[in-house]
Amino acid sequence: MAVDLSKIRLAYPVDMRRAKLTQGFGETRYFDYSVYGYPGHNGWDFGGLPEGEPMRAAELGVATPKTESGGFGNYVEIDHGGYSTVYAHLRGWAVKAGQLVEKGEVIGYLGNTGKSSGPHLHFGLKIPQQGTPGYKNWRDPGPFMEAIVGGVPPATAGGKVEVGDLAGVTSKWGAKMRTNAELLQDDSNLAGVARDGAKLGKVVKVKGDWAAFELWIHRSLLRKL
């Protein structure tokens, strides 16, 4: 089944207040990509940041850390359901195989592994059967990037719930529930994961792109303090 391209909205995986795009999709200024079977570069390269800089997920999905001796070196691939994003040349990972990651969550650290001439992030977008002609499943991520320059990405259209609204989870991956409005690398504020379709009740507080709910517990499980 074809992916609805109009619904793909990717956040920048790096802080664009300090990073710079050093090579775009299809460019050949640094390398002859025909050795990989492509007419040009199959993603975006971001430089200008120190090695070890946190790299962030461009969208909600399930992450898998991988390694190849040449090419991408240490990298993370995130499955977003029908398409995936790739973060290559990492120094190391901040995720485990099968881990659910949120948009903007740290997934690894800028590095210089694999076929790399200096610390940078290679960011790629793969859409099976819908790639750019000549690039197999790879596609230019540019048209799908959100206009943000740093920090946690803004809530997407349709996710703007307000105080008093009844709300539920609308994500095939489910949604992480946290004790406070923060994305923490070690997930120490993780309270659980709500499944897709779960009804969470009324929104009692909003803080930026976060919403808090009043949840219910059966009275037989409680005591007065």
Q: For the chain, what are the domain ranges?
A: 5-144, 166-221
Looking at the structure, give the CATH architecture of the domain made up of residues 5-144.
Distorted Sandwich (2.70)
Residue 56 · residue 13 · CB < 8 Å: yes
Q: Is the predicted pLDDT of residue 150 greater than 60, yes or no?
A: no
**Three-state secondary-structure class, residue 62:** strand
Residue 107 · residue 56 · CB < 8 Å: yes
Tokens representing 155 are 């809530």
Q: Is the predicted pLDDT of residue 67 greater than 90, yes or no?
A: yes
- Rounded CA separation 157/194 (Å): 21
pLDDT of residue 157: 41
**Three-state secondary-structure class, residue 44:** strand
pLDDT digits (tens, 9 = 90+) for 104-145: 999 999 999 999 989 999 999 999 999 999 999 999 999 998
Kindly report the average pLDDT of the chain as a whole number.
88
- Rounded CA separation 225/202 (Å): 25
Q: What percent of the chain has pLDDT over 70?
A: 94
Lowest model confidence (mean pLDDT) among 121-135, 143-157, 182-196, 201-215:
143-157
- Rounded CA separation 54/109 (Å): 5
- Rounded CA separation 223/225 (Å): 6
Q: Is the predicted pLDDT of residue 159 greater than 80, yes or no?
A: no
Residue 87 · residue 107 · CB < 8 Å: yes
Q: Is the predicted pLDDT of residue 153 greater than 60, yes or no?
A: no
Tokens 């640094």 — which residue? 30
DSSP 33: G
- Rounded CA separation 131/134 (Å): 8
